[in-house]
Structure 1
Amino acid sequence: MIVREKIQSFESLTLIKEAAFSKNTLGRKIREEEDCIRTCYMLDRDRIIQSKSFRRLKHKTQVYIKTFGDHYRTRLTHTLEVSQVARNIGVGIGLNENLIEAIALGHDLGHVAFAHNGEEVLNEYLKGGFRHNEQSVRVVTRLENDGRGLNLTEEVINGILNHSGLGTTKDIITLEGIVVKFSDKMAYLNHDIDDSIRAGLLSEEQLPKDIVEVLGDNSTLRLDTLIKDFVKTSNDNINNGIKEVGLSKEINAAMIELREFMFKNIYLGDTLKVERNKAKFILEQLIKYFEENPEEMPEIYLTIAKKESLQRAVADYIAGMSDDYCLLLFNKIFVPKAIID
């Protein structure tokens, strides 16, 4: 028996029947020979980790706080924390940890530089709007690997596509995908509070008292409460024949209220308004420049311009940039250089 088959046999012994078994995958758009060691979801995870888009996450902002310190989260460390939370929940329920990890590691590949500010700019610019979850799918299906994509399984692509927001989960085809959707919020709410306190933009005392009473008075306690409640509620559902995973009503309501608080006071609040406007200005100038000078974009985007549209190509190019690269290009293009005779 080859190693992959041993792993698949282990899945049948350790996972609940509602889990996504790798041997039952819906497959890839382009059929491939199976790996002798890795299951399909393990292979997807490895392809995502080895991608250029994944590496660029280390220089993309999580919340737009200029991260002079080493301890603030970036989009990459956020991704790793989502994976950690989701895998812990998945193991607690008996779901496929490899599928969870692949979805979690790929969920934010399409995020723009400067966090929510970048997404707002591209959403206004691109006909039909811009959503980072859809861009993440575009990255793994259209942009990575010199335009060939990563040829991931349908389950991973579906989880990436539907991870965003706190709305319905009806379009998510696996319980593993639902776990990542919730874990994303659990992770960013807690670490963004931690970073905001570190930056002096927020204090624990400012958090709504009713939320603190339900979830806990520090980030560790809040995350612990959320994870344990999710596992307990989900296991109770499964044991009662209900194929649903999620939080209890009380804990879910508290998390939603905490999310609303963070959007009002940090993500979209007045505290970072000046910095957000600076970021938007940089992105708007780069968009205008590459629309007027498309020949300066890499070849893959010129191909997209011909096959789809120049607007789509510019949006793809801008979306892939890290904060540092945006600033570097802006300075190169628009900031005067010293002239030495």
Structure 2
Amino acid sequence: MNIREKIQSFESLTLIKEAAFSSNSLGRKIKEKDDDIRTCYMVDRDRIIQSKSFRRLKHKTQVYIKTSGDHYRTRLTHTLEVAQVARNIGVGIGLNENLIEAIALGHDLGHVAFAHTGEEVLNGYLEGGFRHNEQSARVVTKLENDGKGLNLTQEVINGIINHSGLGTVKDIITLEGVVVKVSDKMAYLNHDIDDSIRAGLLRKEDLPKDIVRILGDNSTERLNTLIKDFIKTSNFNIKNGIKEVGLSKEINEAMIELRKYMFKNIYLGNTLKVERNKAKFILSQLIKYFENNPNEMPDIYVDIVEKEGLQRGVADYIAGMSDDYCLLLFNRIFVPKVVIDL
């Protein structure tokens, strides 16, 4: 028995029967030989961490554009916080931690520079719209590894593409995917409140009193409330033969109201309007430039233009850029160079 088989045997002893067992995975689009040490979900996790798209997350905005402080979240630190929350929940229920971690680490690979503003710009540009969850799936299936994709398992790809929004979970094929979907909201709501207070754009006293009463008045209390409620509610469901994981009605409604508050006052409110408009201008100019000069994009995107059309190729290129790279390109293309006459 090799190490992978020992891990799979351990899964059979420790996970609930409703969990996703690596030995029963739906597999990959291109069949591969099993690893001797790692389960298929461990392999997926490692491929995501080693990808270029994952490394670029450290220079992509979570909420605040080009912040000067070291302690504001980036898209990378958000991703790590989601993985932390989701794994804690998974352990509490008895689900597959490795699958949870792989989905969590890959869920935002397709997010655009400049946070929600970048997605808004590409959504208005690309025919049929642009959604970061679909782009994340496109990254791992097509764009990474020089256009070959990462050949991940179906369970991980399904969790990535269905992580976004607060709607139905009927399209998610594993309970682990549902855990990541909700953990994403738990993580960003709490750390975005923390960052907003640090930036002086929100006071703790501004948060709706009813929500504070239910969830708690600081990040630690809110996360503890959400995580414990998710575990308790899910374990109750499983124990009673209901294959559903999630929050109780009261806690879920409170989280939805908190999300609405943050979208109205921070994400889409007037607080960051000036910075959002600057980002929109930069991205719009870059889109126009590469539409007129597609051959200046890297070869992989030129190839996409030839096979899938100009919009798709430009959108893929723009979506992959970090905030820093967008600014660098904008300056290189549009800002006049200073010539000093000595």
Q: Find the aligned partners of 1:330 and 1:188 in 2 and give their Cα distance.
A: 29
Structure 1 unpaired stretches of 5+: none
User: What is the rounded CA distance, in whole Å, between the counterparts of 1:221 and 1:277 in structure 2?
Assistant: 35
Equivalent residue number for residue 321 of structure 1: 321
Corresponding residue number in structure 1 for 2:248: 248
Match of 2:282 in 1: 282
Tell whether the 8 Å contact from 1:64 to 1:276 is kept in structure 2 after alignment: no
Identity %: 86
1:99-153 Cα deviation digits (max 9, x unpaired):
0000000000000000000000000000000000000000000100000000000
What is the rounded CA distance, in whole Å, between the counterparts of 2:65 and 2:284 in structure 1?
Answer: 20
Deviations 1:55-88 (A, max 9, x none): 0000000003432111000000000000000000
Deviations 1:9-65 (A, max 9, x none): 000000000000000000000000000000000000000000000000000000034
Shift of 1:339: 1.8
Does structure 2 conserve the Cα–Cα contact (< 8 Å) formed by 1:113 and 1:321?
Answer: yes
1:83 and 2:101 equivalent? no
Counterpart in the other structure of 1:210:
210
Unaligned runs of at least 5 residues, structure 2: none
Q: Deviations over 1:189-218 (max 9, x none)?
A: 000000000000001100000000000010
Cross-structure match for 2:99: 99
Which deviations, in whole Å up to 9, do the C-alpha atoms of 1:295-332 show, x marking residues without a partner?
11000001000110011000000000000000000000
Structure 2 counterpart SS, 1:144: helix
Structure 2 distance, partners of 1:98, 1:68, is 35
Secondary structure of the corresponding residue to residue 29 of structure 2: coil
1:53 alignment counterpart: 53
- SS of the residue aligned with 1:233? helix
Residue 41 of structure 1 pairs with residue 46 of structure 2? no
Structure-2 separation of matches of 1:118 and 1:66: 14
Alpha-carbon distance in structure 1 between the residues aligned to 2:132 and 2:219: 26
CA distance in 2: counterparts of 1:88 and 1:141, whole angstroms: 28
1:141 equivalent to 2:135? Answer no
Is the partner of 1:146 in helix, strand or coil?
helix
2:195 corresponds to which residue? 195
1:229-308 residue pairs with structure 2 within 5 A? 229-308=229-308
Q: Would the aligned equivalents of 1:179 and 1:246 in 2 still touch at CA under 8 Å? A: yes
Partner of 1:124: 124
Q: Partner of 1:259: helix, strand, or coil? A: helix
> What are the superposed Cα offsets for residues 169-200 of structure 1, whole Å, 9 maximum, x if unpaired?
00000000000000000000000000000000
Could you say which residue in structure 2 is the equivalent of 1:22? Answer: 22
CA distance, structure 2, for counterparts of residue 94 and residue 313 of structure 1 = 42
Amino acid aligned to 1:37? I
